[in-house]
Amino acid sequence: MIMEESKKAGDLLKQITENINSSSYLITEISFKSFNVAYELGVAHHDKGIEKVCLLRAKVSDVPSDLIGLKRIEYGSYYELRKVVAEWIIDNIANSNKENLKKLMETPYEIDNYYEEEFINPNRFYDFWDNPFGAYYRLDPEGIYLTNVFLPLITKRFNMLKDIELTFDAKIINKCLGWTLRVWHENFQTKPFFMFNYSPLSKKIVPHIFSLEPMGSAVGYEVFEDVPQVDIKTKEDGWIRFTTKIIGSQVSIFDGFDDNKLVLEIDLNDEKYSKFRPKEIIHGNIGFRCSADERALIRSMKIKTL
């Protein structure tokens, strides 16, 4: 079994090396500390020289120690990523279509169906989602069932999501449900993030900030309960729908089953939030959370970039 797996890995490595050697240039992303990327980078430097290799790094990620001395291009959002790659191609590849690349750089970065999930296909779910240790969840015919999820169940491919619109359908079975924004998750480490928690009992959507570093009251979730009560329209079968828009520091939450009525609007730069808000919370994944005595179903969700 080990020999078979080793052969498969060797075949893949050979294919990757051949693809690098047959290409004229290499654009590589070093934000996520992949040993494979480091190896591929070494092959490209040896075969092509440094001038034909573009290194990209997300601004909030750490640079691997053995790559610190290399020249790299940094970006803070998917829009910036597209722009810096286009600029590098224009500057370094003589026969590139510069006019089309310039138009691409000027085009607003907005994708209506950036990511959709119905929580039906287990293979797709495990490919796109990361579950924290000790969390209980299952894929049911009605959606994904959550409980005992202190750290959120989060997407694992969208660290650079920044300004987005998140829409999801949920059914709260016991107490409440939380949804998280801008979760930077890398190498089993979770940086600070925002969360909103809705309870039909209190009729409140309560903002939270999570950090493993000490904040105001304790390590974990800092809770801001000074928000007005809201009336959320619930279907006869118990389902609700929220749409959350986050643009810069502005967060707006809408009731999707009540003509998208605005139910909460906050500015994360307000002093009561900003004094607990680490500067690195600028982009990241989305997720969902229920504590040990909370239970909820999520039927579908959709992310749109803004």
Confidence band (pLDDT; 50, 70, 90) for 190?
A: low
* pLDDT surpassing 70 at residue 24: yes
pLDDT, mean of residues 66-84: 77
> Does 36 have pLDDT greater than 90?
no
Q: Is 123 exposed, middle or buried (0-12, 13-18, 19+ CB in 10 A)?
A: exposed
* Cα angle value 88/94/99 (rounded, 5°): 70
Is the whole model's pTM more than 0.85, yes or no? no
Listed by start position, the domains of the chain span: 2-76, 115-305
CATH of region 115-305, choose from 2.60.120.560, 3.60.21.70, 3.30.9.10, 3.40.50.740: 2.60.120.560
Give the tens place of pLDDT for each residue, 240-284: 999 999 998 899 999 999 999 999 999 988 888 877 765 656 778
Least Cα distance to 175 among 155, 154, 152, 146 occurs for: 146
Q: Which residues contact 304 (CB under 8 A, 6 or more apart)?
A: 110, 111, 112, 113, 114, 164, 165, 166, 167
Supply the DSSP symbol for 115.
E
Which has the closest alpha carbon to 45: 21, 63, 29?
21
* pLDDT tens digit sequence for 97-126: 888 888 777 776 666 678 899 999 999 998
